[in-house]
Structure 1
Amino acid sequence: MFVAPDPGWLRLRSATRSVLGIGPAVAVCGLTGHTLTAVITGGLAALLALFTVTDATVRGQVVTTALLPAVGFPVLALAAGLHDVPVLRDVAFLAVAGLGVYARRWGPRGHSLGVFAFMTFFVAQFLHTVPGQLPGLYSAVALALLTSSGVRFGLWCYERRLPPPVAAPALPAGSGLARITTRQAVQVVVAGGFALVVGQVLSEGRWYWAVGAAWWIFVNTSSRGETLIRGFRRVLGTVAGIAAGLFLALPLHGAVAPTAALVAVCVFGIFYTAPVSYSWMMTAVTLMVALLYGLLGVLEPGLLALRLAETGVGAVGAVLAVAFVLPVTTHAATNAWIERAVHSVHGCTTAAARRLAGDPDADPAPLAAELEVVLGRVRLSLAPLVHPLNPLRGRKARARRILALLDDCAREVRGLASVAADPQASHDARLAAACWRVEAAVEALVPPGARLPAAPAPGARTPVAHHPGAEAALRHLHGLERALADLATPLRTSPRAPLVPS
């Protein structure tokens, strides 16, 4: 976590801005006479808004943030109204959990609204919300969102000065149960049902921790292996967070000033570590929860032990669901993302070739940036296979070989895009021939019938004097050709077969 790269200090900026956004939001709620329960609800709403709203544009982020109360307020009213009707409350909670995952089919906005809806119901259980508290909670949430948004979109909107982020293209959505979000929604309901029942056996008052653990394990995953790894990391982070709670939160006995300071540190840790380490993020989350329980006057060692047990129940529920209910295999998911990466390599190569051939409208730079995003998704998908605890050495070796070759492709693509950006680099007939060979190597890796943009045909240009830019481009193209050819071996090898080193 501490040595992970942070280009442009984006993680540091995000974490610092989050503290500066959530702190004033909590202060405003407190200074306006809201109860401690309402202040905590407002602070959590501000945290969720800053954490989950990830639209590609600032305008999109503003719209999504404005829509949060539209889903949060009705869910909060539902949870409060069913407080004394356990059976209907449980059914409603599972329905909200399933719909929250299903909403991811509508992209980042659907994801944000789904998370906010689920967490609103969760917070209502955490704080034992009843209908009489709703007006105060609504005003606290509204004030917190307005205050945190003033920081995010007004005082410190650093996104306006950054190039728009590149979104990874989605995999083919399919329909019905072929759609990953649909399958995961069913899995979440099953996992949540298991966690709810077993969690209530462990505790009639804190069962919701098991449901929350099961639900969050599915966030940002798309295969069985990813979910298993995320469950393991959640339990690991919870253990570390409980240990920190025993040494830091418990001795404070709910003292407001030091607790508030530590909560701010936890908020910073959540935002700073989330992009690089789920375990560290969960450590910060668990410590923050312990501190909030201290403020509420109910923190004790037995409560922290119960949280660990409930988290374990949620993780088991998630594991059972992904293993036996409409499973999405790691092999199928990784192959789809690898194919997407190969397509991105081809698209960048074609754009670079056209740019070098004199087409001013062809620009490989955005496609190279897109490839980096897709490769990040490939690494996430392959993470279960390269994990140290994976006992299948053959699959681990295959996955590592694929990652190494895709990294080689990305390096050559970055170099090719850099050469193509040089206005002095002239076209060369050898470039067209090399691009054609790259296209052939790509077509050998993708399924038959996949449509690819055509690269310039060999010999389409008249040879000109060799140019240093053309020579550099040729080196990158030859490197791409070798890496793509080497990819054929691990991609065509059965996941269960031993991989012979090339």
Structure 2
Amino acid sequence: MGAVLATFGTSLALRGLTGASAGISVLGVVLALTLSRVGRGGQDGPRATRLLPLLVTPSVALLASEVADLSRRHRTVGEVLFTAAVSGAVWARRFGPVGTWAGTLATLPFIALLVTPVPPGEGPTSRLNLVAIALIAIGWVTIARHAEARLFAPGPPRRPARREQPTARPVAADRTAPPSAPGVAPPSAPGIARRRRRLPASTRMAVQLAVALGAAFAVGRHVFGEHRSWLVLTAYLVHSGNRGRGDVAYRCAQRLAGAAVGTAAATVVAGRFPAGDDVSIVLIFVLLALGVWLRSASYAYWTACVTGVLALLYGYYGQTGTGLLRERLAAVVLGAAIGLAAAWFVLPVRTGDVLRRRIADLLAALTDYLVVCQTGRARMPRPSRTTPEVMRAALADAHDRLETAFDQLALVAPPLRAHRALTRRPRRHRRPGQAIRPHRYDAVAALLACRPALCALTRELDARGAPPGPVARRDIARARTIVVETRRAMGRAAAAAARH
């Protein structure tokens, strides 16, 4: 929020100097807010990756502005270009972390212009203002991130990892595995051929998003007129960060609940503040701060706060009334339905497939981590002896990759937890002695429950600077054997499923 407020203040100064429209301020706030959330994706990579925001965001902001101007003259052409640009950014995920990072940055200006109720202006001056506000937002977000790192420096055991090192070689127990999934038994040839014929997940998600946005534009043009952006925005948001059909359904439910609560609350205060009242601006930033704070608890809180923000923002520019709020709620409902239908029927990405991939990645990282804990060295060309420096460096790198895998698994946990709560019968409704059928979330919860103990183990070994004693090493070896056998069992199950 510090970066957001600083960007807003700087945009006011820019407007005073250049006479830019108020849309520049709204655009700067949206860019700073979104960059603050997604801007961490490239910070651990090489310097070229860290420079992507400076290269991508201003140039794409110009492109998004041109598309917006074209949409006002040739609506269909502009909407097609918007859909192609946003879905193409999702398709870029297939090129690895750099492609994902660049695609995410490229999406932000398009979405920011979609949210802004006031166009940023036309002409060469407005184009320069767009570049300037994008650079201003990037600058303040970067400053805020460095300030955060100084004030809230992460403690051990997570240390900067040397990402440029080659991938570790499998240990002897894993030599039968393919390079992409060490420790997992290779599937049969028909299974491999069938898997190769399937489109990559990024391609399927891009097609889903293109269909959802195209349908949202077509429906919004005839149903909501000038406010069709609400429908398009919802169709995009339920697909952003798509982690399977279950995740899209869960996000739709959260967005509908948040929009309903936010609309009810905004209806109470609608029209209380006249157009141009500065109190509305203060309340907008209060709601943004509240939404950012509560978003980690539930996306529904963020949606409710954003609904209030939009009500105050449109009221500030003279567009008020409960009818407008009800229209926005209807657009959210219809946009969520379009997004859910696209995710469910257009090249669907199954939640089970995403979950198996995340669990396999976590088990692979856990195997590497246990090797370091047991031997004090990574699976790299081994030094002549294990020194405390070698031990701590290998431990920090392995723990960092393990924490990343835990974070990725935790992202798919909420939809599974909600599904288990809805489908599992309450204890009072079960017959005595009735067995409880296992649920997918049970495995996720069991793995996530190991995280505190592994962090404690890392801290202990980091302080020790040497491998544990013989008894502890035997315990770690047994745990590693169980992990490897679990990965092989998952590989055999996946191969059997591919054959059938």
The answer to whether the superposition gives a TM-score over 0.5 is yes
> What TM-score does the superposition give when structure 1 sets the normalisation length?
0.76
Q: Using the alignment, how far apart are the partners of 2:287 and 2:55 within structure 1?
A: 26
* Match of residue 173 from structure 2: none
Determine which structure has greater relative contact order: mean sequence separation of CA pairs < 8 Å that are 6+ residues apart, divided by chain length: 2
- Which whole-Å deviations, capped at 9, do the CAs of 1:216-247 have from their partners, x for residues lacking one? 11112221101110111111121222223223
Q: Name the aligned partner's letter for residue 181 of structure 1.
A: S
Question: Counterpart in 2 of 1:57?
Answer: 43
Partner residue in 1 for 2:74: 85
Equivalent residue number for residue 128 of structure 2:
139
Structure 2 vs 1, CA of residues 273 and 139 (structure 1 numbering), >3 Å: closer, same or farther?
A: farther
Match of 2:486, SS?
coil
2:470 paired residue among 429, 440, 453: 429
Contact 1:226–1:380 (CA<8 Å) still a contact in 2? Answer: no
Aligned pairs for 1:6-85 within 5 A:
15=1, 17-32=2-17, 33-57=19-43, 60-85=49-74
Aligned counterparts of 1:371 and 1:145: Cα–Cα separation in 2: 35
**Preserved contact between residue 29 and residue 42 of structure 1 (Cα < 8 Å):** no
Give how far 1:449 is off. 11
2: CA distance between counterparts of 1:167 and 1:355? 17
Distance 1:366 1:379 in 2: 20
- Provide Cα deviations, 1:295-333, integer angstroms capped at 9, x if missing partner: 221222111111111111111111111111111111111
Where does residue 381 of structure 2 map in the other structure?
none
User: 1:348·1:417 contact (CA, 8 Å) conserved in 2?
Assistant: no
Contact 1:252-1:259 at 8 Å conserved across structures = yes
> Following TM superposition, by how much is the alpha carbon of 1:98 offset from its aligned partner in structure 2, in angstroms?
1.3
Contact residue 386 and residue 396 of structure 1 kept, 8 A? no
* CA contact 1:18–1:271 (8 Å) conserved in 2: no
- Listed as ranges, the gaps of 5+ residues in structure 2 are 168-179, 182-194, 378-384, 426-435
**Structure 1 counterpart of 2:286:** 265
After superposition, the C-alpha distances for 1:177-213 in whole angstroms (9 at most, x for unaligned) are 5322211110011112222222233222111211111
Letter in 1 for 2:297: V
- Where does residue 122 of structure 1 map in the other structure? 114
Provide the rounded CA distance (Å) in 1 between the counterparts of 2:464 and 2:335: 57
**Which of 414, 417, 421 is 1:383 aligned to?**
414
Distance 2:375 2:472 in 1: 10
**Separation of aligned partners in 2, 1:165 and 1:311:** 42
Q: In the alignment, is residue 418 of structure 1 matched against residue 456 of structure 2?
A: no
Give TM-score scaled by structure 2 length: 0.77
Contact 1:122 1:208 in 2 (8 A): yes
Question: What secondary structure sits across from 2:209 in the alignment?
Answer: helix
Q: Structure 1 residues 346 and 212, CA, compared in 2 at 3 Å: closer, same or farther?
A: same
Judged with a 3 Å threshold, the aligned counterparts in structure 2 of structure 1 residues 114 and 447 are, in CA distance, closer, same or farther, namely: farther
8 Å contact from structure 1 (residues 46, 148) kept in 2: yes
What residue number does 1:405 align with? 446
Partner-residue secondary structure (3-state), 2:122: helix
Distance 1:426-1:179 versus aligned 2 partners, 3 A rule: closer
C-alpha distance in 2, partners of 1:175/1:74? 35
The two structures, once aligned, show a CA RMSD in angstroms of: 3.5
Q: What's the secondary structure of 2:477's corresponding residue?
A: helix
State whether residues 344 and 370 of structure 1, in contact with CA within 8 Å, keep that contact through their aligned partners in structure 2. yes
> What's the CA shift for 1:397?
4.6
- Does the aligned pair in 2 maintain the 1:385–1:396 contact within 8 Å? no
What is the correspondence of 1:212-231 to structure 2 with a 5 Å cutoff? 212-231=233-252
Does the 8 Å contact 1:250/1:294 carry over to 2? yes
Between the two proteins, the alignment pairs up a number of residues equal to 435
Q: Which moved more, 1:311-320 or 1:288-297?
A: 288-297
| CA apart distance, 1:159 | 4.8
Identity rate of aligned residues, in percent? 22
Contact 1:195–1:314 (CA under 8 A) maintained in structure 2: yes
